[in-house]
Chain A
């Protein structure tokens, strides 16, 4: 398995490429070095225990934080600051209380000065596709947690980003809503043909949504496994009871058991 990342890093310069990226905060070695690349238009899930540096990894990809060593690049360009071609979704929806759902979605377009009629139509359309079209004039406090997170996803997608980065986006939602959101995220990222990187604690969520799953170890985070998940899309939630699916889940769980993250 150790050889897998090395061969991946030799992939073409398209898409996202991480080359020996690591991060330290003073004495604390957060993660790395890790190397992998993500093909355009695919979904990558990263699953790992708390504190393995996966959120930091995402912030490096978004250009919000510099890597201590190594190089992250996107479409051949080094990512050193926000390039404006990523859409971010955090665990908290971070909607602005004083804006309606639609105006929240349009925030990134306003920052870029591209808030024209076409963009407004696209924003309304995204809300429609995410099942909250009837709430575009509602304020965040009038919406439920799941609805708010849908608005946040629409906001991340409105400027047609090349990458959609999601950091534990559904951790604050109840189990049923979370299942709904998994299906919804699959549909919308297929429709929008956006490269998706999902960070999660949930093994099932990672396998369900990913074309590929990276399993990370505890701090300092390194890549324990790199699994191709080749189930056809669109996937149905019932896939999670499929033997092939549970086999992958088990494979990941065994990694965590072996490294002491989970006690079998």
Chain B
């Protein structure tokens, strides 16, 4: 019996593989074309009108600066990436812990959730300078700022995921004499992972944004600092180059999060490439 399904699955996988190449080309072509078009119009506009570089540098100039200052940009990216990673990991661990506590205790939920919503509603960019006052100049402020930026989506999604566990399944577990901790570990948490990953993907792209804003205010290293300095000294091409690097970094970590998601929850409906029925 198993051989029948195995063959079925292999055939299906092969069919998917056969479709993949043209599909990929078709799906990549429009964005590449539109990007080339936008860059060409930009380049043409700058050259035809002799726009000064400090106002709007041409794409080719940004690329030149990117290559010339590559070492500087990468070194500074290192600081930004470090702050992003540290802040994100702290937000991830504490976010899941707080989320688990909220979903486990109604009293904790009532007491803490409103504060979370209030803290999320406060425009975080506005309170960035306060972090400088509270935690001083340097890495601590920056990392904590990343935490503030990325904490909320993780908590909210953890709570939503854990609360969505099937009550009948939990009852079944209870009939199997599962302890509350066993139910949490073997049923609620795995079931919540897809939702938690949705939160992680929102948070992780916000981590470098938080780090850069932190660097604007409270740091003399990092791409945020490079950006502020470059703008201050009218080195606009360098500022653009920094923005390009930050953006590419953001895209890269988003895809990294997607890859980890795919590896962690291959069973989830969103990841089932071979099954369409």
Q: Which residues of A contact B (CB under 8 A)?
A: 59, 62-64, 82-84, 86, 88, 90, 92, 94, 96-98, 107-108, 110-112, 134-135, 138-139, 141-142, 159
Contact = CB atoms under 8 A, between A and B. Distances in A.
A64 B167 CA distance: 12
A97 B166 CA distance: 12
B265 A98 contact: yes
Interface stretch (B78-86, B176-184, B197-205, B246-254): B176-184
Contact of A94 (B5, B172, B186): B172
Interface string B204-240: 0000000000000000000000000000000000000
B1 A135 contact: yes
Q: Which 5 A-B pairs have the closest CB atoms?
A: A134-B2, A134-B1, A108-B176, A84-B177, A111-B178
Contacts of B176: 82, 84, 107-108, 111-112, 159
A63 B267 CA distance: 32
- Say what secondary structure dominates the interface of chain A: loop
A77 to B, nearest CB: 14
Nearest to A86: B175
Nearest to B169: A94
B187 interface: yes
B182 to A, nearest CB: 5
B174 A141 contact: no
A112 B175 CA distance: 11
B74 interface: no
- Say what secondary structure dominates the interface of chain B: helix
A59 B171 CA distance: 9
Contact of A88 (B172, B179, B272): B172
Interface string B43-84: 000000000000000000000000000000000000000000
B171 A64 contact: yes
B1 A112 contact: no
Interface of B: 1-2, 5, 166, 168-169, 171-179, 182, 186-187, 190-191, 193, 265, 267-269, 272, 275
16 contacts: A64-B171, A64-B175, A82-B177, A84-B176, A92-B168, A96-B191, A97-B191, A98-B190, A98-B265, A107-B176, A111-B178, A134-B5, A138-B5, A141-B269, A141-B272, A141-B275
Given A112-B176, A142-B5, 10 more contacts: A82-B174, A82-B176, A82-B177, A94-B169, A97-B268, A134-B2, A134-B5, A138-B5, A139-B267, A141-B272
A64 B174 contact: yes
A94 B187 CA distance: 11
A264 to B, nearest CB: 35
B5 A135 contact: yes
A94 B166 contact: yes
Contacts of B172: 88, 90, 94
Nearest to A132: B1
Contacts of B179: 111
B275 A142 contact: yes
A111 B176 CA distance: 7
A44 B269 CA distance: 39
B175 A62 contact: yes
Contacts of A111: 173, 176-179, 182, 186
Nearest to A110: B186
Contact of A107 (B171, B186, B193): B186
Nearest to A139: B267
B267 A112 contact: no
A63 to B, nearest CB: 7
Contacts of A134: 1-2, 5
A238 B209 CA distance: 71
Nearest to A85: B177
B1 to A, nearest CB: 4
A94 B168 contact: yes
Contacts of B182: 110-111
A96 B2 contact: no
A29 B39 CA distance: 74
Contacts of A138: 5
A185 B22 CA distance: 50
Given A111-B177, A142-B275, A97 B5 contact: no
Given A94-B166, A107-B186, A111-B182, A63 B268 contact: no
A110 B183 CA distance: 11
Contacts of B171: 59, 64
A96 B192 CA distance: 12
A135 B2 contact: yes
A134 to B, nearest CB: 4
A98 B267 contact: yes
